[in-house]
Chains A and B, each alone.
Chain A
Amino acid sequence: MPLLAIAVLAAGTYAFRLAGPVFRNRVRIPDRLQRLLSVATAVLLTALVATAALTQGHGFAGWARPAGVLVGGVLALRRAPFPVVIVAAAATTAGLRLAGIA
């Protein structure tokens, strides 16, 4: 990841943050835009989960990785503590690989 990319991401992010404290008396964010932004966040994160869990390069990632993510997801839904969720996911994937399932 080049330094320029990090700098652009950091500067843009900081601009989003600073706008409120600087312009709060002059501008109002419409409710519709607020809701659109929060739904867009959920859509992007979910797409990242799906592609990172299922794909590798342009193909299928194999069964071990999505199986681990699935175990983690079920534990998260059942409100398991965060470290347990992550360790269980990684352990499932590692275990399946150890058993010869890619």
Chain B
Amino acid sequence: MLVDMRSFWRTLDRGSLRDIALVCLADAIVGASFGAITVSGGLRPWVPITMSVFVFAGGAQFAAAGVVLAGGSPAAAVLAGLILNARLLPYGFTVADTVGGRWWTRLLGAQLITDESVAFTMRQHEPGRRHITFWTCGLALFGCWNVAVVLGVLAGAVLRNTGSFGLDAAFPTVLLALVLPSLAHRGTRHAALAGAILAVAATPFLPAGVPVLLALGGLVLAGRPAATVADTNPALEVR
């Protein structure tokens, strides 16, 4: 552990710990769904597990795996995942002060930057609290996420006929639940709806994976962007 337990309990109050635990639980469910859906969809077990450790970004993992499972090219899958993860760039600047000054804490801490760890850290203002919040949330999420994905993979390997269990509906539903909060902003909603219509309309004619990228054309309808990043962040509650 990076901090001794006494200062840990002093600086991180019970409310924050409970909130972090709840987010970990929600993420574990998403992670288990990811493992189960990808494996029962036909990917080899090591694929979701490797992605979860090294990519460690739920939205991009679902997006990339979804493109591949739909028959799209790996290049389109990687591109979709990278565009989704570009939002981590500003996050890194937001929490840069919490990862510490040593090179190895930066290298480790960077991997723990997620929607959730950044959201929790932004709620704290005192440097010591920010530091402990970021590392506690980041490490807890990393642990829960990866254990849950492995458990999901094991469960998914048992379920063979996924259609009759309705698992194909679970994948878009997970994403929908993640993106709904960010659609509260009008400009974002218009852009997202236009992009979705564009993508569905293009699906019969273009190779799998490409229509989703085409949806970015909807961005021209975004209008005046939301006031704060937090307003438009998907998945601040659940990954």
Contacts and interface: CB of A to CB of B under 8 A. Distances in A.
Interface of A: 1-10, 12-14, 16-22, 24, 27-29, 32-55, 57-59, 61, 64-65, 68-69, 72-73, 76-77, 82-83, 85-86, 89-95, 97-98
Contacts of A68: 166, 169, 173
Interface stretch (B6-14, B125-133, B141-149, B194-202): B194-202
Contacts of B109: 21
Nearest to B183: A42
Contact of A82 (B74, B91, B164, B177): B177
B71 A57 contact: yes
A17 to B, nearest CB: 4
A85 to B, nearest CB: 5
A10 B53 CA distance: 9
B182 A42 contact: yes
7 contacts: A1-B47, A13-B55, A20-B91, A28-B93, A45-B84, A49-B196, A69-B172
Interface residues of B, number: 102
B85 A12 contact: yes
A3 B68 CA distance: 13
B173 A89 contact: yes
B131 to A, nearest CB: 13
B93 A5 contact: no
Nearest to A25: B96
A85 B169 CA distance: 11
Given A6-B50, A47-B199, A53-B172, A42 B93 contact: no
